[in-house]
A = this chain, B = another copy of it.
Amino acid sequence: MRENELISKIDRAFGRRPDASPEVRLGRGDDAALFRPRAGQEIILTCDWFLEGTHFLREKHPPDSVGWKCLARAVSDIAAMGGGPRCFLLSLALPDTHTGRWLSKFLAGLGRASRKFQCPLAGGDTTRRQEISINVTVIGEVQKGRALLRSGARPGDLVYVSGHLGEAELGLRLLSGRRELRKPNDALTKKHLYPEPRLSLGQWLAKTRLASAMMDLSDGLSGDLPRLCAASGVGARLEEEKIPPIQDPVIAQHYGLNLLGLALHGGDDYELLFTVPRRKAKLLPRAFQGISLTPIGEITKGPKLVLREENGRERPLAAGGWDPFRS
């Protein structure tokens, strides 16, 4: 398959009119895409690797999950700023063996995500490579001055998370233990394979100005909270028993997994981690559109991150989150 044919296949999967969105004035097929920003908005820019062997396994992960997830995790960065996605660029490097059936299923999953997140494909780059390599750039918008940064947390603010932590990691463990994936859509692996970025929640928190700082959880609470604290120049104290674990403890225990460990260190949840000034906390519902919002601790002055056990004893929160460069 030649590069032009590969591009045609992508064009077919995404419809004949690439510039269907009002913002994307010129889509694929030129040197670059043209995007018309709305008045009063700032542009949000993010890009994410999605690489075979690092972020997914060719033989384990269904190609439509690879398509869905490569876009979902980049869109999650837009959610984490309180914005909405507008369009994306796809850089795809494939071996010749994967330009047929694999590519079709990959594009089906990517297309589903693109429609679900209302984020049309605006352009990209394709090439040949032995290992499947994907890079996704998402362009989003947020009302000027309303973006929620990592740097806004202040001592005394409450620390919140959305949803239940560790679900995606559990899904990954289940998937790794199986020879073959029989039911790719079962509830336990769904969060790992088809994560849903918290777009509505993020936009609501930005619009209402309830949150003081926000980020998404991609590398686990213990890996990501230190980043938010470092950006804000603060510390944090978490209450161990308040951290919301997965809701199906039986299966986790069956596999010998520690619920707190999963919730603290499990990656890929794409839930939101945010801080709320104490006086605004009463305005926050317990759940937003069915997603629980749980206070798990508070921001402190010092640079330290500590975990308070149920018995009142405190221990340092050790980063166990996912870092590709850790040996």
CB within 8 Å of B: which residues of A?
A: 1-6, 25-26, 29-37, 42-49, 51, 53-54, 77-78, 80-81, 83, 87, 89, 91, 93, 96, 99, 122-129, 131, 133, 135, 137, 139-140, 142, 144, 147, 149-151, 214-216, 231, 323-327
Q: Which residues on B sit within 8 Å (CB–CB) of A124?
A: 47
CA distance A135 to B129 in the complex (A): 14
Which of A29, A83, A325, A326 has the most CB atoms of chain B within a 10 A radius of its CB? Answer: A325
CA distance A249 to B323 in the complex (A): 52
CA distance A2 to B321 in the complex (A): 12
27 A-B pairs with CB atoms under 8 Å apart are: A3-B324, A4-B323, A26-B147, A30-B81, A30-B150, A31-B214, A32-B45, A32-B78, A32-B83, A34-B45, A34-B142, A37-B37, A37-B43, A43-B43, A45-B89, A46-B89, A47-B89, A48-B125, A49-B93, A49-B125, A49-B127, A51-B127, A53-B129, A89-B137, A96-B327, A127-B325, A131-B131
CA distance A12 to B68 in the complex (A): 35
Q: Which residues on B sit within 8 Å (CB–CB) of A31?
A: 46, 77, 80-81, 150, 214-216
